[in-house]
Amino acid sequence: MTITVKVSDKTKEQMIEYFEDLKREKTPDYATFQAVDGDTVVTLYNSGKAVFQGSDADLASEFWIETEKINTGYVDFTNSDNKKKEKKETIKDTKYMYINSVGSDEVGTGDYFGPIVVSSSYVKKEDVSFLKELGVMDSKKITDEKILEIAPKIIKRIKYKSLVLTNQDYNKFNKDYNMNKIKAIMHNKVLYQMINEEHPIIDAIIVDQFAEKYVYYNYLKDAKLVQRNITFMTKAEDKNMAVAASSIISRYIFIQEFNKLSKSIGFNLPKGAGPKVDEIGKEIVKKYGKEKLESIAKLNFKNTEKILSE
């Protein structure tokens, strides 16, 4: 599937910032950048043409189509697929949208600095329109400023459970567990708490899939309390509002914890795991020593080797 969107200068700037850490090293002729977003290759040309190619191009482009509408009041885009397939995809993607559901999502797993935050949310059918009006969607596609604006409104309206894993605890657990096992343990805790403490009336429990179902439950084989009957799906934040709300809430908490961390260390810590992270990491080591990284960073990331190489 190929979707082409004509974007304004304002949307171009937002795309450049969003895809900073997803860019490929090589850029095609006449292109500002080329990046990989899940199963989709995104190419932004100097002319303002944004091309999304891949099996999830419709989902990857949806946010930018809506962003262009907000920025200019209209949008010009084309879809290479035939109408029959578009209709089929729409039906599939909305199946889990207007239901009573509990969903979970995590933030921070791709950031060198800062904690991992996992949240579960309970969204009723009647909450969906309210969340849509706020612009709730995958937190990776919304600016931090927007999240700080809408998250308090979401928290006031819906029930949620959150779990924060500090860098110190992450580095301790990572000696025995890989990232996906850590995520599985955290998702299981917030989902179990939501289901067994709030007793919500639901149609589905949904997790944004990061491992096959049997692998996920295998990670939890030693856990005494395990939440079952979970529906796993990719791009779940685009298909289910409980997962999307959990994404926003997790990001909101992450931003607050991240800002506290930056303030405590006296550095404006960058998010992600790109070159800017390496630069700041080296400055921190010069000032505080390499031991400081254990309390502010995920040491198993490749950034650590780069930071300590000099």
DSSP, res 141: G
Confidence of residue 223 (pLDDT cuts 50, 70, 90): very high
Rounded to a whole number, what is the largest CA-CA distance in the chain?
Answer: 60
Neighbours of 87 (CB within 10 A): 10
**What distance in Å separates the CA atoms of residue 217 and residue 120, rounded to the nearest whole number?**
18
What are the strands of the beta sheet with 101-107, ordered from one edge? 159-165, 116-123, 101-107, 204-208, 230-233
- Amino acid of residue 123: V
Q: What is the pLDDT of residue 299?
A: 96
Instruction: Find the mean pLDDT for residues 120-134.
Output: 94
Instruction: Find the mean pLDDT for residues 103-117.
Output: 96
Percent of the chain scoring above 70 in pLDDT: 94
Q: Which residues, 6+ apart, have CB-to-CB distance to 155 below 8 Å?
A: 249, 252
- pLDDT for 93 beyond 60: no
**What distance in Å separates the CA atoms of residue 119 and residue 84, rounded to the nearest whole number?**
36
Q: Which residue reads 């450049």 in tokens?
A: 16
Q: What is the pLDDT of residue 175?
A: 87
Confidence of residue 85 (pLDDT cuts 50, 70, 90): very low
- pLDDT for 124 beyond 70: yes
**What distance in Å separates the CA atoms of residue 171 and residue 305, rounded to the nearest whole number?**
15
Q: What is the mean pLDDT of the chain?
A: 90
Which domains does the chain carry? 2-93 (3.30.310.10), 101-260 (3.30.420.10), 268-307 (no CATH)
Q: How confident is the model over 235-282, as pLDDT tens digits?
A: 898 899 999 999 999 999 999 999 999 999 999 999 999 899 999 999
Q: Which residues, 6+ apart, have CB-to-CB distance to 246 below 8 Å?
A: 103, 104, 105, 119, 120, 121, 160
Percent of the chain scoring above 90 in pLDDT: 69
- pLDDT for 80 beyond 70: yes
**What distance in Å separates the CA atoms of residue 196 and residue 191, rounded to the nearest whole number?**
8
Q: Which residue has the higher pLDDT, 94 or 11?
A: 11
Q: What is the dihedral of CA 132, 5, 28, 46, to 10 degrees?
A: -100
pTM (whole model) above 0.85: no
Minimum mean pLDDT range among 72-81, 89-98, 148-157, 291-300 = 89-98
